[in-house]
Amino acid sequence: MNVNVVIPTYNEAENIARLAERIMELYPSFHIIIVDDNSPDGTGEIADKLADRFPNISVIHRPDKGGLGTAYVAGFKKALDKGADLIFEMDADFSHDPRYLRDFLEASQKADFVIGSRYIQGVRVEGWKFRRLLLSKLANIYVSYIMVRPVWDFTAGYRCYRRKVLESINLDNIRSDGYAFQIELTYLAFKHGFKVSEIPIVFRERERGSSKISRKVVWEAFWITLKCRAPILEIIKHLKFLFKDYNEFVERA
C-alpha cells in the first residue's frame, strides 16, 4: 500500500529532522511530503537534506507563508499524483506522536477517513493553558451543534484519508486555513457519504518552536462552519447588521 504523510512546516528547524527520521524508522516504506513556506529559520534547507538522505522524502517549496490550508492542498495533490492509497496529515512539532500511525492504519481498514481525536469522551491534551483548551473545546461544541455530526474533534490536524475522499473533493475550491480547513474537509467527507471514524490520541503541546495560529484563523473557522450549513447562513443574512465581518465573508463565500 502506498502511504503518504503530508507535513506542512513553517519555522520547524528544531523539529522536522527528528520527526521525519522517526517516521522513516517506524515505516521505511512510507512517503513523506514536506510543504515548506520559505521558513526564515532554514527549515526548507533541512528538508532538502532529508530528501537527499531518504529517497521517500520529497519537499514542496512555496515562496511565502501561504497558510496551512493551501499547504495541505499542495501536499495532497502531490500525494495523489504519486499514487497514494492513504494520505496522512500531521504537524511537524511532535504534538502528533508518530506512534499513533499504527492505530490509524488499523482504523483506516474500516473507515475512509480517520481523525486522531483529543476529545473522545474527555480531554487528552497535555501542556495547554486553560484558556487555549477552553477555546478549542468551545470551538468543537460550536461546530458540532451546527454540523450535527458524530465527531468529537472537528479541528484535529492529525488525520488519515483514503485516496477516494480527497479525489471526490474539489481541492482547488478550498480556500480555508488552519482550523477552518479541518472543519471544511470533515464536513465534505460526511457530505459525500464517506465513513468517518475517530481514534483517541494524546496531544502534547510542542516543546520546541512556537505556534503560528492567529486570531484570524479562529474567526475563519467560525464563519466556515456557518458557510457549510446554508440554512443557517440564510438566518444570518437577516441579522447581518450584527456582524461586522459579514461583507468580507460573503465576498469570499
Ligand X SMILES: Nc1nc2c(ncn2[C@@H]2O[C@H](COP(=O)(O)OP(=O)(O)O)[C@@H](O)[C@H]2O)c(=O)[nH]1
Site for Mg ion, rule CB under 5 A: 91, 93, 95, 206
Instruction: Please choose which of ligand X, Mg ion, none residue 71 contacts, taking the beta carbon within 5 to 8 angstroms, the exact cut-off set by kind.
Output: ligand X
Helix 178-191 to helix 68-81 angle (10° resolution) is 50
For the CB of residue 143, give the shortest distance to ligand X in the complex, in Å.
15
Strand partners, 125: 203
Instruction: Select the residue interacting with ligand X from 5, 8, 47, 225 (CB under 6 A).
Output: 8
Instruction: Select the residue interacting with ligand X from 37, 89, 153, 220 (CB under 6 A).
Output: 37
Contact residues for 253 (Cβ-Cβ < 8 A; gap 6+): 227, 233
- Binding-site size, ligand X (CB under 6 A): 20
139 sits near ligand X (criterion: CB under 6 A)? no
Sign of CA dihedral 114, 120, 124, 125: positive
Instruction: Please choose which of ligand X, Mg ion, none residue 35 contacts, taking the beta carbon within 5 to 8 angstroms, the exact cut-off set by kind.
Output: ligand X
Site string for ligand X, 61-100 (x = CB under 6 A): ----xxxx--x-------------------xxx-x-----
H helical segments located in the chain: 16-26, 43-53, 68-81, 101-107, 130-147, 163-168, 178-191, 215-228, 230-238, 246-252
* Window 210 to 249, contacts with ligand X (CB under 6 A): 211-213
Residue range at the interface with ligand X (CB under 6 A); choices 2-10, 161-169, 223-231, 240-248: 2-10
Strand partners, 4: 31, 87
How far is Cα 4 from Cα 36, in angstroms, rounded to an integer?
16
Residue (14 or 103) nearer to ligand X, CB: 14
How far is Cα 247 from Cα 253, in angstroms, rounded to an integer?
10
For the CB of residue 10, give the shortest distance to ligand X in the complex, in Å.
4
Rg (CA), the chain: 18
Tell me which residues touch ligand X (CB under 6 A): 8-10, 12, 35-37, 65-68, 71, 91-93, 95, 206, 211-213
